[in-house]
Chain A
């Protein structure tokens, strides 16, 4: 649904991004607008109690995780070598639409590299104004509004309010799953094919128990 939302071939005003039917295939030819630019409504962070000087990382769909994290880990570890008190205690990751999953992945990797971070996550809708160029000459450009889901994640070295909805304490140990217990190394030769079948069968059995 979100993929069809980004295909700007149709002219409709949407209240929510989720209920958009895929009308791109049935749109008439003269509605072949091309997206030129888009502006976002800048609303303040939905997270209360943020410090004034905070690092704001905007994660987009085409962002490279490696570049983002290299920057953030360098800034977060700066304060150890720096004699001045310029330490980066808090960082905010925001992402919306297609960059949503990438934002969460960035946060997870960062939590693993820099341990002991408290986390507060907030979900909200963000309105985006898309300016589409009209292929007909002389006709004005069209601005379309749509709302996309967005996430705002605050990571902080300082402890945060545990009563805040969306709070997650720092997790020092990884949660052991049955898969990690079975496979310790990233790639290793599996000894016998039946073990794989039992693995699958085990999962299926548990699913049959759990499914209503």
Chain B
């Protein structure tokens, strides 16, 4: 894990990121991350739209995955020959980091720090009016 030297403490801490907010996942929710292959995530979205019979899917991205989420949504729209429409919503997500003292014998307390990160939620849908 990354060591985080906080200027107010002389003790070195271990930085551990807490997992972000819980994911309420409907069938048509797709959460994009940077670890999975791009084409696999794109294929998953396409399968949901075409095979799954969903009128709309929602693509979510947090932090660095925002770029990838936007890319996936635009690719879906391009491959549908303009049949799909996009609606993007942005939000802020609070992330919590746990700072643990590296050496348990050191006189340091485990602390937490919150920071904000941007998130995007893109709805990819077939418009109702033909």
Which residues of A are in contact with B by a Cβ distance under 8 Å?
A: 1-2, 16-19, 100-101, 104-105, 107-108, 112, 119, 121-125, 149, 151, 153, 165-168, 174-175, 177-180, 182-183, 186-190, 193, 196, 199-200, 203-204, 206-207, 210-212
Contact = CB atoms under 8 A, between A and B. Distances in A.
Interface in B83-130: 85-96, 98, 100, 109-114, 116, 118, 120, 122-123
A104 B18 contact: no
Contacts of B110: 189-190, 193, 196
Given A101-B67, A153-B90, A196-B98, A189 B24 contact: no
B74 interface: yes
Given A178-B22, A210-B25, A187 B112 contact: yes
Interface residues of B, number: 48
* Residue of A107, A108, A124 with most partner-chain B CB within 10 A: A108
A168 B78 CA distance: 24
Contacts of A105: 118
Contacts of B90: 104, 107-108, 119, 121, 153, 168
Nearest to B8: A187
A196 B19 CA distance: 11
B57 interface: no
Contact of B89 (A124, A166, A188, A196): A166
The 10 closest A-B pairs by CB, nearest first: A165-B87, A121-B88, A203-B19, A189-B109, A210-B25, A18-B71, A190-B110, A177-B21, A104-B118, A206-B22
Given A149-B67, A177-B94, A193-B100, 16 more contacts: A18-B75, A19-B39, A100-B67, A100-B70, A108-B116, A124-B74, A165-B85, A178-B21, A179-B18, A179-B21, A183-B114, A190-B109, A190-B112, A196-B110, A207-B22, A211-B25
